[in-house]
């Protein structure tokens, strides 16, 4: 594992849906230790890029490496195992589970299966289960939502769900966490709280790549910022430079 390798390197990613080109020769690098922002107008290809690098879509061209390891074409769980975990813009709320149990549905496999092994002895399973639930409880408490632990996951508000998603992602102890619009539909107080948690985790060594529509949120939190437009990278730089860049302003005005 090369410490100098970027945590994530995507090169020349192309994804077509029929005649529509969602990403077109998109190349990005996420340096270790950064909070990197990914912005761009609606339909720019941001979520598609997340789906490509995390293995949910197979690219028509291009390559992806995580921690210096080529993961192009690999399944989501295999890519997660390399240390990169993603959240969803619209997370599914697992039915028939408490919030705490929902945390144990591994982002590793991302298929909705429990991470608790099934083929070991019942007493071991019980022990494992208790230990995992304790870990989940601690994670929820860390994000100040410990009181939600035994509520049905389906009862969560949008804002609570975003916090639970962050907690769930952290259960996998990732090097890099991809967040897709973490504060969309979240009230300003909770958004501030989320920003604080992200900064804290970053100081502890977690790298972030964050798609966000809320400019104030992302400009305050992220450096560098990558601007995607019509499926490829338009501009990359520090927030101040990006904010005042004519090409970025034009792209947002629908140029």
Would you say how long the chain is, in residues?
A: 255
Please state whether beta strands 8-17 and 20-30 pair in parallel, antiparallel, or not at all (unpaired). antiparallel
In the bound complex, what is the minimum distance in angstroms from residue 10's beta carbon to Mg ion?
16
Contacts of 242 (CB under 8 A, 6+ apart): 39, 219, 225, 227, 235, 236, 248
Residue 52's nearest CA partner among 103, 19, 17 is 17
In the bound complex, what is the minimum distance in angstroms from residue 42's beta carbon to Mg ion?
8
113 binds, among Mg ion, ligand ADP, none (CB under 5 to 8 A by kind): none
17 binds, among ligand ADP, Mg ion, none (CB under 5 to 8 A by kind): ligand ADP
In the bound complex, what is the minimum distance in angstroms from residue 177's beta carbon to Mg ion?
17
42 binds, among ligand ADP, Mg ion, none (CB under 5 to 8 A by kind): ligand ADP
In the bound complex, what is the minimum distance in angstroms from residue 140's beta carbon to ligand ADP?
29
185 binds, among ligand ADP, Mg ion, none (CB under 5 to 8 A by kind): none
102 binds, among Mg ion, ligand ADP, none (CB under 5 to 8 A by kind): none
Q: Which is nearer to ligand ADP, 73 or 196 (CB)?
A: 73
Q: Which is nearer to ligand ADP, 142 or 213 (CB)?
A: 213
In the bound complex, what is the minimum distance in angstroms from residue 120's beta carbon to ligand ADP?
38
40 binds, among ligand ADP, Mg ion, none (CB under 5 to 8 A by kind): ligand ADP
> Could you list the residues that contact ligand ADP (CB under 6 A)?
17, 20, 22, 40, 42-48
Contacts of 105 (CB under 8 A, 6+ apart): 94, 97, 112, 113, 114, 115, 168
Q: Which is nearer to Mg ion, 135 or 230 (CB)?
A: 230
In the bound complex, what is the minimum distance in angstroms from residue 43's beta carbon to Mg ion?
8
CB burial readout 165-179, b (16+ within 10 A) else e: bbbbbbbbebbbbbb
> Could you list the residues that contact Mg ion (CB under 5 A)?
46-47
Would you call the peptide bond into 224 cis, given omega within 30 degrees of 0 as the criterion?
A: yes
Q: Is the dihedral of CA 80, 151, 197, 135 positive or negative?
A: negative
Q: Which is nearer to ligand ADP, 1 or 20 (CB)?
A: 20
Q: Which is nearer to ligand ADP, 46 or 168 (CB)?
A: 46
CA atoms within 13 A on the CB side of 163: 29
Q: Which is nearer to ligand ADP, 136 or 210 (CB)?
A: 210
Around Cβ 164, how many Cβ atoms within 10 Å? Answer: 24
What are phi and psi for residue 5, nearest 5 degrees?
Answer: -65, 145
């Amino acid at each position: 594992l090369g410490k100098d390798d970027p945590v994530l390197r995507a090169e020349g990613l192309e994804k077509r849906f029929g005649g529509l080109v969602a990403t077109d020769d998109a190349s990005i690098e996420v340096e270790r230790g950064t909070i990197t922002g990914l912005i761009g107008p609606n339909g720019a290809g941001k979520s598609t890029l997340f789906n490509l690098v995390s293995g949910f879509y197979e690219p028509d061209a291009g390559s992806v490496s995580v921690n210096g390891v080529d993961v192009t074409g690999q399944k989501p769980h295999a890519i997660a195992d390399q240390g990169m975990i993603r959240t969803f813009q619209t997370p599914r709320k697992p039915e028939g589970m408490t919030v705490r149990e929902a945390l144990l549905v591994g982002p590793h496999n991302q298929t909705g299966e429990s991470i608790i092994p099934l083929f070991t002895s019942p007493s071991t399973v019980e022990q494992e289960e208790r230990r995992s639930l304790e870990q989940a409880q601690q994670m929820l408490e860390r994000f100040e939502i410990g009181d939600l632990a035994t509520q049905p996951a389906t009862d969560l508000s949008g804002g609570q769900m975003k916090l639970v998603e962050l907690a769930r992602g952290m259960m996998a102890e990732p090097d890099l966490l991809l967040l897709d619009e973490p504060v969309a539909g979240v009230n300003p107080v909770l958004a501030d709280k989320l920003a604080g948690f992200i900064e804290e985790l970053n100081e502890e060594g977690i790298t972030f790549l964050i798609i966000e529509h809320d400019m104030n949120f992302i400009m305050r939190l992220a450096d560098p910022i990558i601007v995607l437009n019509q499926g490829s990278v338009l501009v990359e730089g520090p927030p101040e430079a990006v904010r005042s860049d004519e090409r970025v302003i034009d792209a947002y005005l629908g140029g």
